[in-house]
Amino acid sequence: MKSLQKRIAIYPGSFDPVTFGHIDIIRTAAKMFDKVYVAIANNTGKKPLFNSQERLAFMKQATKSISGVKVEMFNGLIVNFARKKSARAMIRGIRAVSDFDYEFQMALANQKLEGEIHTVFVMPSEDHFYISSRLIKEIAQFGGDVSRFVPPFVESKLRKKLS
Ligand code: PNS
Ordered structural domains, the chain, with CATH: 8-129 (3.40.50.620)
Q: Is 12 in the pocket of ligand 1 (CB under 6 A)?
A: yes
Q: What is the rounded CA–CA span in Å between residue 34 and residue 156?
A: 33
Q: Tell whether pTM > 0.85.
A: yes
Give per-residue pLDDT as tens, 131-149: 899 999 999 999 999 999 9
Q: Pick the residue whose CA is nearest to atom 19 on ligand 1.
A: 77
Whether omega for the bond prior to residue 48 falls within 30 degrees of 0, making it cis, is: no
CA of 139 to the centre of ligand 1 (A): 24
The arithmetic mean of pLDDT across residues 22-34, rounded, is 97
